[in-house]
Amino acid sequence: MAGGDDLKLLGTWASPFAIRVKFALALKGLTYEYAEEDLASKSDLLLSSNPVHKKIPVLIHNGLPVCESNVIVEYVDEVFAGPSILSADPYERAIARFWAAYVDDKLLASWATMLFRGKTEEEKSDGKKALFAALETLEGALVKCSDGKAFFGGASVGLVDLALGSQLSWLKAAEVMAGEKFIGGDNTPLLAAWMARFSELTVAKAELPDVDKVVEFAKMRQARMAAAAATAPNN
């Protein structure tokens, strides 16, 4: 860490958004204080640090808060020395930002619909279809972005790798809960190989949550949502 820098990360253990920030900090070799937030009873520090969205993650650097996971990752990349996460080339940076946004807008949204947001079996099924479609699109993106190298960032891990890699435990948990594989086979063999490579990275082994623990968490959340829906008044 640069001399005199004080870093504190507000997050939750299961959040892929907090996990990608942990990846970035680890890639840069930074030490930081981590504070686990209870989102049912948010701390005053979180509410004052992110008064607009009141969400995690928040990185507090020398008392100044930075919000939104991809914004934080880019901030960490710009401020601190170490392996570059974004290319120096403006066009390549723009492409990486596009696909990182796609990962959240399409991929995360689809498995979240399948597991949590879908209220009917049809909506959940639509979420699963959207998940397969998003993964196939990312298979093509990997071919273009990697230029035949190991990662979306090329020879080294980049922004898209962190965005997608932060969701691996959730994707694997979704596979366990659905009883089927989403990544691999004839449709996404390159993505499966990428997942295996990314999972072997030191930062991935250190920061990705245990899949069984995520499954347990997801089932508990589903049960709470079902209970809340059952007791909600009919309008």
DSSP for 182-206 reads -S-TTT-HHHHHHHHHHHTSHHHHH
Residues 183-220: tens digit of each pLDDT: 999 999 999 999 999 999 999 999 999 999 999 999 99
Query: How high is the pLDDT of residue 178?
Result: 94
Angstrom distances, CA of residue 207 to CA of 17, 33, 200: 12, 14, 12
Residue 154 in domain: yes
Same domain, 75 and 97: no
156 vs 5, more confident: 156
Structure letter (DSSP) for residue 144: H
Query: How high is the pLDDT of residue 4?
Result: 64
Same domain, 150 and 73: no
Residues 148-185: tens digit of each pLDDT: 999 999 999 999 999 999 999 999 999 999 999 999 99
Query: How high is the pLDDT of residue 2?
Result: 46
Helices (H), the chain: 16-27, 44-49, 69-79, 90-102, 109-112, 121-146, 159-165, 168-178, 189-199, 202-207, 211-231
Query: How high is the pLDDT of residue 119?
Result: 87
Residue 50 · residue 71 · CB < 8 Å = no
Tokens representing 86? Answer: 């974004």
Residues 58-68: tens digit of each pLDDT: 999 999 999 99
Residue 172's domain comprises 90-219
Phi, psi of 10 (to 5 degrees): -100, 125
Torsion 177-173-100-58 (CA) sign: positive
Provide the number of structural domains found in the chain: 2
Tokens representing 82? Answer: 């170490």
Residues 105-157: tens digit of each pLDDT: 999 999 999 999 998 999 999 999 999 999 999 999 999 999 999 999 999 99
Residue 210 · residue 169 · CB < 8 Å = yes
CB burial string 117-137: b at 16+ within 10 A, e below: ebeeeeebeebbebbeebbee
Same domain, 101 and 203: yes
- One-letter identity of residue 149: K
Residue 73 · residue 22 · CB < 8 Å = no
Query: How high is the pLDDT of residue 176?
Result: 97
Kindly report the CATH number assigned to the domain that includes residue 150: 1.20.1050.10
pTM to 2 decimal places: 0.94
Q: To the nearest 10°, report the CA torsion of 99, 104, 106, 107.
A: 100
Tell me how far apart the alpha carbons of residues 36 and 129 are, in angstroms, rounded to a whole number.
34
Same domain, 114 and 39: no
169 vs 229, more confident: 169
Residue 87 · residue 36 · CB < 8 Å = no
Residue 226 in domain: no
- One-letter identity of residue 66: V
Query: How high is the pLDDT of residue 231?
Result: 81
Same domain, 98 and 185: yes
Mean pLDDT for the stretch of residues 38-45 = 96
Strand, coil or helix: what is 17? helix
Tokens representing 147? Answer: 């230029």
Query: How high is the pLDDT of residue 1?
Result: 43
Mean pLDDT for the stretch of residues 20-48 = 97
Query: How high is the pLDDT of residue 230?
Result: 80
Token pair 């059952």 is found at 230
Same domain, 70 and 94: no
Q: Which helix (H) or strand (E) holds 135?
A: helix 121-146
